[in-house]
Amino acid sequence: MARSKGTNLVDMVKLMRQQREKAKALLPESLQPYLDQRISVSSWYPEQDMYGLMRALESLLPVSGEALYREIGILNARNHLSGSYRHLLSELRLKTLPIRAEALWKSLHDTGELRVEVEGECAGRAVLRGYENPGPEMCLVIESYLAEVLRMAGLEGVQSTSGLCVHRGDPECIWHFHAE
């Protein structure tokens, strides 16, 4: 079973606790303990639980669908790189991005291998293989997370596009990034 660090869940759970009764009605019984139990940012939780929490957020927040999942990716990147993982952003240069992005992935997920390749001064791609991805919305979260990391590293006008995707039957997920 794939697992994810608690730091990926904690902000979602905080939002749900603010609307506890609505959240309780939306969450399957197996996820309801998250409304009461302390989430440890350094502990491992089932990746499928993170996915279930994200899906429940769709009914609690004014934003939904693709926009919600992109926002989750952006907010997680900001929270991670201004909090527990801020050391990975310090003195970040484009040529060190692949090593740091790969290290960040391994610290947050126990499945999958992320490879980031820099292509020139302001372009690159990310390839994710072997990730026990629980659903297509996670691809949106990951894509927007990676784009936000690039923005936080100082690139302006970052745009991203999805190439291959395991949820379309491809063997891996690939995202292309470019900046102005």
Note the pLDDT tens digit of each residue in 60-79: 988 889 999 999 999 999 98
Are residues 127 and 54 both part of a single domain? no
Shared domain for 26 and 102, answered yes or no, is no
Same domain? 104 vs 158: yes
Domain enclosing residue 16, as ranges: 3-65
Measuring CA to CA, how many Å separate 124 from each of 19, 40, 77, 136? 40, 33, 18, 22
Q: Is residue 70 part of a domain?
A: no
Q: How confident is the model at residue 86 (pLDDT cuts 50, 70, 90)?
A: confident
Domain match, 105 and 163 both? yes
What's the CA gap between 133 and 140, in Å, rounded?
Answer: 11
Question: What is the domain count for the chain?
Answer: 2
Does 77 reside within a domain?
no
Is 13 a member of any domain? yes
Q: What's the mean per-residue pLDDT of the chain? A: 91
> Is the pLDDT confidence value at 96 over 90?
no
Cβ pair 48, 1 in contact under 8 A: yes
Residue entry with tokens 């690159």: 124
Long-range contacts (CB closer than 8 Å, 24 or more residues apart) made by 58-67: 59/22, 59/26, 60/15, 60/16, 60/19, 60/22, 60/23, 60/26, 61/15, 66/140
Domain shared by 108 and 161, yes or no: yes
Residue 74 lies in a domain: no
In a domain, 155, yes or no: yes
| Residues 103 and 54 both lie in one domain | no
Domain-embedded: residue 85: no
Domain match, 45 and 99 both: no
Domain final position from 31, 65, 99:
65
Domain identity same for 58 and 95: no
The band of 81, judged by pLDDT with boundaries at 50, 70 and 90, is confident
What would you report as the CA-atom Rg of the chain, rounded to the nearest whole angstrom? 16
pLDDT at 117 over 70: yes
Do 174 and 98 belong together in one domain? yes
Rounded distance between C-alpha atoms, residue 176 and residue 81, angstroms: 21
Note whether 146 and 108 are same-domain residues: yes
Q: Residue 120 falls within a domain, yes or no?
A: yes
Instruction: Establish if 79 belongs to a structural domain.
Output: no
Residue length of the chain: 180
